[in-house]
Structure 1
Amino acid sequence: MKSSYPGTGKTLLLVDGSSFLYRAFHAMPDLRNREGFPTGAIYGVLNMLRKLRHDYPADYSLCVFDAKGKTFRDDMYPEYKAHRPSMPEDLARQIEPLHQAIVASGWNILALEGVEADDVIGTLVQQAARDGVRSIVATGDKDLAQLVNEHVTLVNTMSNETLDVPGVSAKFGVPPERIIDYLTLTGDAVDNVPGVEKVGPKTAVKWLTQYGTLDNVMQSAGGIGGVVGENLRKALDWLPQARRLLTVKCDVELPQPYSALVAPSADYEQLRTLYERFEFKSWLRELNGEAPSAAPASRAKSAPVTEDMFGTEPTNTGHAQYDTILTEAQLDAWLEKLLAAELVCVDTETTGLDVMDAQLVGMSFAITPHHAAYLPLAHIYPGAPDQLKREQALHKLKPWLESARHHKVGQNLKYDMHIFANHGIVLAGIHDDTLLQSYVLESHRPHDMDNLALRHLNVKTISYTEVVGKGAKQIGFDQVDIDTATRYAAEDADITLQLHQALSPQIAVQSGLQHVYRDIELPTMQVLYRMERNGVLLDCALLQVQSRELGEKLLALEAKAHEAAGQPFNLNSPKQIQEILFNKLQLPVKKKTPSGTPSTDEEVLQELALDYPLPKILLDYRGMAKLKSTYTDKLPQMVDRNTGRVHTSYSQAVAVTGRLASSDPNLQNIPVRTAEGRRIREAFVAPQGSRIVSADYSQIELRIMAHLSGDEGLLRAFANGEDIHRATAAEIFMVAPDAVDSEQRRYAKVINFGLIYGMSAFGLAKQLGIERGAATAYIDRYFARYPGVADYMQRTREQAKQQGFVETVFGRRLWLPEINASNGMKRQAAERAAINAPMQGTAADLIKLAMIAVQHWLEKEKLQTQLIMQVHDELVLEVPENELPHVKEKLRELMCHVAELKVPLEVGLGEGANWEAAH
């Protein structure tokens, strides 16, 4: 890179290896070779070094790491970095082979005892500057901004940020020479160096702008008012020490000067050995002089996640041809192509994200890779070229859009279906959706198009914020100039088509995945669209009454809390609650926050509430306050002005188990364990002449456990229609079923559901409030009576460890990236998930199959009944009274027979004027 200042024209490239190491470890997935050795940090660091060498050719280069052991700062301040957790074992195992690989790649490497990597870097950049040599420092550490000057630039490879002198001033609000002062005032939480309490970046910048330097701020402390002024005065004795700790040492005695850091030759044989060991296949192909090949269409079941799934340097789509359709003749020409194509990718650009309200700004199409078109319809910025009238263009495209025989593919087509519906078009012919293809293939990974393009095509796409900006300066897509809009929108269609071509073969070769994708996920998308469009009627007047009543209860609870505390305090202030509970009332501290103060989170309050009255009052207050703010106050504001109903959004590709997620509003989180929570459901009502019907699978996950485990005792209990919790209690407590009392049944219910979620003896003891020994005895007795369950659990753990995933009854694949992690807590959590995921996933599949069957029947019978909600294992319908007997009879039949398990499926049905009454 050419120098932009007077000097030798030479460049020194310094890499903060320790910063790279931790960032790579946490940013990369849990990559491992076939022996289970972790390789993510190694791959991530080497990849960043490769990019740096490409982007910043240098005459001298060095990768600097922190050495083991204490530094001079620990001697100055024993609390320095004291709260940092120990290095994860999986990261520690990668350090030595990473260093070997860095050296073999042709880099100098250094770790110097007694100082930090920052100090080595600071010393070298000063040496180089004296000789007129430019320094590029690759780091993510903000502390190093203090080194920036006309000779020194920072680069951040992960955010593509470059900080020169103006860049530092723009980012921090102060120039590089004031960065130490700035950090001293704000403190550095990462290194455990306190600053001035309650002084953040804004205040620090304000003071330094007003007074010039930290010394001047300290001298003026007496004239600074308010709490922050008082805090500043309290910190005056500490600040000089903080400044010393945060100042990079630039006079370290080094083993060699910067001028000796000419890059050594790469050791290709050593690299080949290391790449083979770590299974970095694309880099191996490079070493062997082969062109990188495409990823295979499918992977063996037992294959772990490897480097080969990720690729190397991302490319862009600059070589593609993207057309802009501005005339009727151009539209006609493209429409002719659309009508002749076997499959077309279609995408929409809109005025917003509210699917019931957003309007079409433009559309894009792709038929073959690297060639796409954008049809602008409503760009309104000054000087925008003439565009086809939206109504005219849609009239021409409508027959193709509504044609079932013309196949379409897209990314999250449920959204586009809504947008077209807003313009009177029923999108048909949906053949594929890349969002769902990605979800079926790898539910544990991100499914947005930018991530998918990078992961599967090795392409860096134009992001939405690059086009419209962000924050207060963000513009609507209708204000984006058409040339930019074409590059962005046409690329979306082009990349989506390419993604489909990459993902589809991987699903096609796995019959289970093909079934889940074609027969469950794609039809579910259509049902969810219909449910979202239907919406649900709200009784807003009732919600207003409930909101007022909750407000009165909150005031009463506040008064009760003040009485229990012996003084008034703010129930919404964690600091004041902490002061009351632990200083005034001297309640025992159960756990601490990362900053070392006593925690007042819900788990702590629940534990304290067992013995003390105030924590219980606080919990009740928080619960009611959340009900009021999230539901009774907010729901009436979410009613659509055109339909008079509330329209939730169901996300299909979020939960790794296949469960749906609901948002805006979240209907799945309405608490039903309190009377106040259940009353919220009373506001979800049927219109006049109709009823709400609720259909809920009974004990579905326990039934799936019986099916999966094949345990004779469980199968027999369900086949005979027994109360499964009573049957389990009879087995565990060794009494006749009719002799089981309510407490024993409660214990059995906790055990039945707890074991599904991998609950330990410790967890069971805590849940039941019994000794751990008794809990262990209950679990042992359970497994003795239901040996098939114990066999299933062990078999599932082993299978998960071997292949990295488990499957539902229907073939949905549930990945467990940390099933072989060396970190015990992560591995145990993955083992618990391995046991539970097939049950949750199968339950998710069943409710989706039920939705599909019910919607198909409603359409076939041409009924007015409509599905309006899906919550957990429950379907909620709005049923005209004249259709009620027919629907109730058929609904149970459909849901009970969507699949044949080894145990019968049971459905509970209820009806009422509102959702709560239907229970």
Structure 2
Amino acid sequence: MASIRAPLLDSHSMTAETEVASKQPVFLLDTMSFIFRAYHAMQRSRPMSTRSGLPTAATYVFVNMITKLRADFAPHYLAAVFDVSGAVFRDAKAQEIGVLRRWSSKDKAFVEISYEGYKAQREAMPEDLARQLPYIRRSLEALHIPILEAAGFEADDVIGTLARQASEEGHEVFIVSGDKDMMQLINEHVRVLNPQKDNLVIDPAKVIEILGVPPQQVIDVMALRGDTIDNVPGAPGIGDKGSVELIQQFGSVEAVLDRAEEVKRKTYRESLQQNRETVLLSKELVTIDCNVPIELDLAQMQTTDPDLEAARELFTELEFTSMLRDLAPGIKKPTAELIEDPAAEQITAFFAAAPKHGFAFALDKDARLARSESSSGSTETNAEVAEEEALPPMPTLLDAFEAAEESQVGKEATPEYLGVSVKADDKPELALRLQLTPQLRTLLENEQVPKFVHDWKSTSHHLSALGVTLRGPITDTMLLSYALNPTHATQSLIDVAARAGQPVPASLPGAAHAIQTLTPTLRKEVEEHKLTSVYETIDLPLVPVLFRMESSGVRIHLGALDELSQRFGSEIHRVSERIFILADRRFNINSPKQLGEVLFTHMGLPKPLIYGKGKKISTAQDVLENLAEEHEIAQLVIEFRHLAKLKSNYVDALPLLVDKDSRVHTTFNAASTATGRLSSVNPNLQNIPIRTELGREIRAAFVAAPGYRLLSADYSQIELRLMAHFSEDPLLADAYRTGRDIHTLTASEVFGISPDKMDKHTRARAKAVNFGIVYGISAFGLAAQLSIPQGEAKLYIERYFARYAGVKSFIDRTIEETRKQGYVRTLFGRMRPIPDIESRNANQRGFAERTAINTPLQGTAADMIKLAMIAIDRKLAEHKLRTRMVLQVHDELLFEVPEDEEDAIVPIVKDSMENVVTLKVPIEADLSFGHNWRDME
């Protein structure tokens, strides 16, 4: 399809522009270098794939990199240079090497070994990366960036040739690459640009700073040190430091070889003398050929606007939502006229049609959100790949806006206008911007008029702040989309519209129109995927329950937090001082760099594995845990981090979030997790540690109001009970039917220990096995968790499956069904795609299998507690009780109960939770009362 290009210029303007553009810089992209870096970085940080299982991470990062390059430098001339599959001239040249002479420490002499060939040791391209190359090429075509390549030559040679030709014509050249090999091409007109290092520009002076030699000697250094990636042998035993020292001393490879007898270090001297021809051939292999038979065509390389239709087709296929969002304004026009200032007859028409047909509406926040996202750029566009590491998306103004909106829920009256949209029979759709008049208020509160909104709960909070109670049948496009696409990172209106190919809402009428248009499309898909029951019986009726919980909030004892703050502060000081004594110096413990230097350089502790070329030493939790077994300082750093996190995230933060009644109002996210579980933000009250004493201390600050007590209702081992239900394992099911302790039973069956000789430690190990199986734990993972040899852990898992054969059958059956279907479902029909279940990448496939095993269990548990919440909320209203449901944390509900309602509330809560569904084993909920959340009995 035709692309959108700049307007035509007259002959005079064209001449003027040509004169200016003739000396514009030329940007040459070392494409495969960045593709590999993008792939390996994203493999570690966040693998990506479509719902159908197509891997997309490398494509995603690559397109973002191109977008950022164009945004930062606005290149007038840009081309992407690729390697061509097949033999290159270096392959024939490398055959001349024949054998290598390597130093043998065993024989104390140089020995001959066969040379495998140029790049012979390179691993084959990963299958999931190879699948992405056609899409990367398509992305370049859609972005109108030419692809350059030459048969028989590598991309480096094509880049070197074009750089030479462009510089000879008077152009500055920027080679966009992170490869040090490119430094040999640098001169006063040619520079290397490394976007992965904050757009570092490398000129001749910078080459000396980085390598210790000027550009013209880079080849000599590389020839001596060789290249393990490309299997360039070099001079055995002469590494990075030695190669630079020798070239600094002698000036060139040839001079070093001719004067080898002058080299003082014996191993260097003998290596040079034994490998003269190999080193000279290595120099030829590392030298970029700048005379490739290819002609510079600046007209072909001139940048133009992308082919929006081609880009849209590609990004839709790859499910790149925010990229679609950025393209959408120029792709599709709304099917209705969006009227900002409606005439009187249009307003009359709306109020005539709305009561009969229902209407979609949006608040001012929806339009501002759309404008913020459109103007600030997508978060995906801001994603960059640091040196060998993919960074998470950079925060934008949109993030700040959304956080502010969430924090003000129920506190400020923000919108005064609404976008409304109504579709009457055989009439054009009306999409208007209306003031919130009494007539519109009446319509919003009319219980007979259907309403279509996006994010009913948030909308209810905003309308409530304006004194409006939203009533009537509600359709929520956010929840419809979530039922269909639970794995998507966001369900914002603008993203849902972009995924559905609808116009991006950039105004109040536009937002309302998008909701109106999305509703039938999403409803149809929900029906086709058999998700109507999930939407209508769980997700939608839960909204008013969560609205009331958020409005109520939970009471905080500020004095208790103040005491904890002082206590935690003292503990942090104590731990810090002990760390400084052991380290024999003071430093910033919060700095991973300084901590790494202290632990691994100053103290000489065993270094963890080094990932990537950046040689970054990790001080992650797992690294410290491994060190902590033998080194006190690592254990203290873990303790310091735990204390600091609790203090900053909860002890010091919660007092800043309380209202005038000392209550904190969290926001529950009902459409954010792939399993269907709720999450909470501002503050996140679901991540308060419960397994540590310090975490439990924070719970003591959550209290009941005077005259009330807190009631905790917690499902007992719900996921294990669900495993018994799904697997129908006789031993597991019988244990729950007869009331036997499942962890004691497993310890007896797996460890061979009689129940009457069981101690707490052994039962705890069995508990780890039980829950580990639920989460698809491997022998490696269990070994790490129990601090036992991997072989012993493997034996425990084998014994478990031998005794609980039904569980093994369930796991095998679930994985096989997921491979066939590409998704799993909960007991209630909620669906989760598992696209990586067929991945050839063992790590991705293993994670997908574990996800497939756990999702029916965790997802069903999440649905059960949601249904229980709906039932309890209804009964509270029916019995006109003052009891309030205030928190939901995983398998636990927390209530604030008037003391005179305690006897009435217990059977309501217990019955609702235990009879929410009939399983093949009994469901149990443990209830306890207390004045604070820690001390419950």
Aligned twin of 1:885: 903
Q: Residue 911 in 1 paired to residue 923 in 2?
A: no
Q: Is the deviation greater in 741-750 or in 61-70?
A: 61-70
Aligned twin of 1:366: 421
1:114-125 correspondence runs (5 A): 116=155, 120=158, 123-124=161-162
* Counterpart AA for 1:896: E
Aligned twin of 1:385: none
Aligned twin of 1:631: 650
Q: Is the deviation greater in 891-900 or in 428-437?
A: 428-437
Q: 1:451 aligns with which of 495, 508, 521?
A: 495
Give the direction of change, closer, same or farther, for the CA distance of 1:633–1:99 in structure 2 (3 Å limit): closer
Shift of 1:48: 13
Q: 2:339 aligns with which of 323, 330, 352?
A: 323
Deviations 1:388-433 (A, max 9, x none): 5xxxx34222221112221112221211110001111111225221
* Counterpart AA for 1:367: V
Q: Residue 585 in 1 paired to residue 603 in 2?
A: yes
Q: 1:64 aligns with which of 75, 78, 81?
A: 81
Aligned twin of 1:253: 291
Distance 2:453 2:206 in 1: 48
* Counterpart AA for 1:6: T
Q: Is the deviation greater in 758-767 or in 734-743?
A: 734-743
Aligned twin of 1:506: 525
Deviations 1:328-364 (A, max 9, x none): 7764443333223234343443895031224233311
Q: 1:598 aligns with which of 613, 617, 629?
A: 617
Distance 1:101 1:644 in 2: 54
Shift of 1:85: 10
Q: Is the deviation greater in 179-188 or in 548-557?
A: 179-188
Distance 2:553 2:89 in 1: 62
Q: 1:342 aligns with which of 358, 364, 370?
A: 358
SS at match of 2:468: coil
Shift of 1:324: 1.9
Shift of 1:8: 12
- Listed as ranges, the gaps of 5+ residues in structure 1 are 53-58, 76-80, 155-162, 164-170, 189-236, 242-248, 264-281, 287-291, 296-303, 377-387, 463-486
Give the direction of change, closer, same or farther, for the CA distance of 1:666–1:98 in structure 2 (3 Å limit): closer
Q: Is the 8 Å Cα contact of residues 346 and 365 (structure 1) preserved in structure 2? A: yes
Shift of 1:126: 7.2
Q: Is the 8 Å Cα contact of residues 699 and 932 (structure 2) preserved in structure 1? A: yes
Aligned twin of 1:92: 130
Deviations 1:63-111 (A, max 9, x none): 6314579999xx9xxxxx9xx9985331135548988999999987515
Q: Residue 732 in 1 paired to residue 750 in 2?
A: yes
Distance 1:630 1:85 in 2: 45
Q: Is the deviation greater in 564-573 or in 747-756?
A: 564-573
Aligned twin of 2:632: 613
Q: Is the 8 Å Cα contact of residues 341 and 433 (structure 2) preserved in structure 1? A: yes
Q: Is the 8 Å Cα contact of residues 422 and 431 (structure 2) preserved in structure 1? A: no
Aligned twin of 1:233: none
Distance 2:794 2:47 in 1: 39
1:801-840 correspondence runs (5 A): 801-840=819-858
Aligned twin of 2:565: 547
Aligned twin of 2:659: 640
Q: 2:813 aligns with which of 791, 795, 798?
A: 795
Q: Is the 8 Å Cα contact of residues 51 and 835 (structure 2) preserved in structure 1? A: no
Q: Is the deviation greater in 648-657 or in 610-619?
A: 610-619
Distance 1:61 1:615 in 2: 50
Shift of 1:451: 2.6
Give the direction of change, closer, same or farther, for the CA distance of 1:336–1:624 in structure 2 (3 Å limit): same
Q: How many residue pairs align between the two structures?
A: 753
TM-score (norm: length of structure 2):
0.70
SS at match of 2:339: strand
1:207-606 correspondence runs (5 A): 252-258=290-296, 314=328, 316-319=331-334, 320-325=336-341, 331-349=347-365, 352-353=404-405, 354=407, 355-361=409-415, 362-368=417-423, 371=429, 373-375=431-433, 393-446=436-489, 447-457=491-501, 459=503, 461=504, 487-511=506-530, 513-592=531-610, 594=612, 595-606=614-625
* Counterpart AA for 2:849: E
Q: Is the 8 Å Cα contact of residues 592 and 599 (structure 1) preserved in structure 2? A: yes
Q: Is the 8 Å Cα contact of residues 686 and 914 (structure 1) preserved in structure 2? A: yes
* Counterpart AA for 2:17: Y
Q: Is the 8 Å Cα contact of residues 361 and 418 (structure 2) preserved in structure 1? A: no
Shift of 1:644: 3.7
Give the direction of change, closer, same or farther, for the CA distance of 1:24–1:768 in structure 2 (3 Å limit): closer
- Listed as ranges, the gaps of 5+ residues in structure 2 are 9-13, 70-75, 95-118, 212-247, 253-286, 302-308, 369-400
TM-score (norm: length of structure 1):
0.71
SS at match of 1:876: strand
Q: Residue 6 in 1 paired to residue 18 in 2?
A: yes
* Counterpart AA for 2:635: K
* Counterpart AA for 1:435: M
SS at match of 1:885: helix
Give the direction of change, closer, same or farther, for the CA distance of 1:125–1:364 in structure 2 (3 Å limit): farther
| Residue identity (%) | 36
Distance 2:362 2:412 in 1: 17
Give the direction of change, closer, same or farther, for the CA distance of 1:605–1:565 in structure 2 (3 Å limit): same
Give the direction of change, closer, same or farther, for the CA distance of 1:338–1:578 in structure 2 (3 Å limit): same
* Counterpart AA for 1:808: T
Shift of 1:47: 14
SS at match of 2:596: helix
Q: Is the 8 Å Cα contact of residues 672 and 678 (structure 2) preserved in structure 1? A: yes
Q: Is the 8 Å Cα contact of residues 804 and 815 (structure 1) preserved in structure 2? A: yes
Shift of 1:738: 3.6
What RMSD, in angstroms, separates the aligned Cα atoms of the two structures? Answer: 5.1
Aligned twin of 1:210: none
Distance 2:500 2:870 in 1: 31
SS at match of 1:494: helix
SS at match of 2:474: strand
Distance 1:44 1:255 in 2: 32
Give the direction of change, closer, same or farther, for the CA distance of 1:614–1:141 in structure 2 (3 Å limit): closer
Give the direction of change, closer, same or farther, for the CA distance of 1:542–1:334 in structure 2 (3 Å limit): same
Shift of 1:784: 1.1
Aligned twin of 1:196: none
Q: Is the 8 Å Cα contact of residues 461 and 547 (structure 2) preserved in structure 1? A: yes
* Counterpart AA for 2:501: L
Q: Is the 8 Å Cα contact of residues 17 and 64 (structure 1) preserved in structure 2? A: yes
Give the direction of change, closer, same or farther, for the CA distance of 1:260–1:772 in structure 2 (3 Å limit): closer
Distance 1:622 1:43 in 2: 34
Distance 1:573 1:630 in 2: 18
* Counterpart AA for 2:129: L
Distance 1:524 1:456 in 2: 25
Distance 2:583 2:738 in 1: 55
SS at match of 1:901: coil
Q: Is the 8 Å Cα contact of residues 554 and 665 (structure 2) preserved in structure 1? A: yes
Aligned twin of 1:717: 735
SS at match of 2:548: helix
Distance 2:637 2:58 in 1: 44
